[in-house]
Amino acid sequence: MSGRAVAVVGATGAVGEELLALLASRRFPVRELRLFASAPCSGQRVAWGGREHVVGPLAPGCFAGVDLAFFAVGADVAAAHAPAAAAAGAIAIDFSTAYRRDPGVPLVVPEVNAAALRGHRRLIANPNCSTILLTLALAPLQRAAGVRAVVVSTYQAASGAGRPGIEELRAGIAALARGEALPAAVAMPQVLAGNLFPHVDAFGDDGWSGEEDKLQEESRRILGLPDLRVDATCVRVPVERCHSESVAVSLQRPLDRAAARAVFAAAPGLAVVDDLAVARYPMPNLQTGRDEVAVGRIRTGRVFDPGLTFWLVGDQVRKGAALNAVQIAELI
């Protein structure tokens, strides 16, 4: 029989839904689809491929006969079940932090380091969403002029905290519009409506957050630059979808604005949106639902010499999560 038996763990979440939509729109060869989620969501029905599929619980033997398993779940669930999927013969693509630091597990952005998939052992890590967006822009700069160090501030959407983050933002905005007291923060550490805060992931004893650590550690692996210095500040902003990043790069060789635009324009996965005369630059409301990451406000740096400064926006639910994983599956 043609096609693959595909499992999606976390099928009812925001990323799981995006993943299912992409499998359909990109006509991924799915012969059989199995959907799994946490116990409260078990039993739900999801329409896909012209029929309804019942979401089931993770149980012993549930991956028997599965060729490809996507894990759009937290690290605890992935660590507990992805090895079982691989042992059953499936290729497991994990979205969580469970295996990103494991040197034996490829950490892959297909446009950047597809060669890392060679020799995989049926377990592949999908990078952090902010890292995916950043490395798509850094990789062509590394090839053209060499990258020495990066200073990046991220402006991360509520959907980075999952569906509860979106619902919490919407409830807060509605309360503001009615002139009511804002509901307490539950999905995020602070109220986000009418606010922003520099707190994405837990803080370490050194004052850096887990999200900020990921930007350095994962970028080093993906770009093959083990000594790359990345100074990051990650901020949650009251936007539903799409992460934005302000990036300043220290280069090894000079690269002027025109040359940088050409480098970005030729890079896979990027789109140059940079026409200041008509106020055209990347924004979340333009990138939502788009595959590419938009780069704009490109200019020669004033701190790093040689250096480059730019702004990027990407749909972190799509390219920063679901699409990246589907592209990995397509390559395999």
87-96 per-residue burial string, b: 16 or more CB within 10 A, e: under 16: ebebbbbbbb
β-pairing, 51-54 with 45-48?
A: antiparallel
Residue 303 has pLDDT above 90, yes or no: yes
In the residue annotation, 243 being an active-site residue is answered as yes
From 53, 81, 120, 243, active-site residue: 243
Q: Give the model's pLDDT for residue 156.
A: 98
pTM of the predicted model, to two decimals?
0.96
Residue identified by tokens 């350095």 is 216
From 62, 129, 234, 242, active-site residue: 129
Residue identified by tokens 């060789």 is 253
Report pLDDT digits (tens) over 169-192: 999 999 999 999 999 999 999 999
Contact indicator for 326, 26 with CB cutoff of 8 Å: yes
The DSSP symbol for 205 reads T
Pairwise CA distance, residues 316 & 209, whole Å: 19
Using alpha carbons, list the distances in angstroms from residue 199 to 151, 191, 207, 212, 310: 17, 11, 11, 10, 23
In the residue annotation, 41 being an active-site residue is answered as no
At 29 the three-state DSSP class reads coil
Residue 1 has pLDDT above 80, yes or no: no
Report pLDDT digits (tens) over 114-123: 999 998 999 9
Report pLDDT digits (tens) over 215-259: 999 999 999 999 999 999 999 999 999 999 999 999 999 999 999
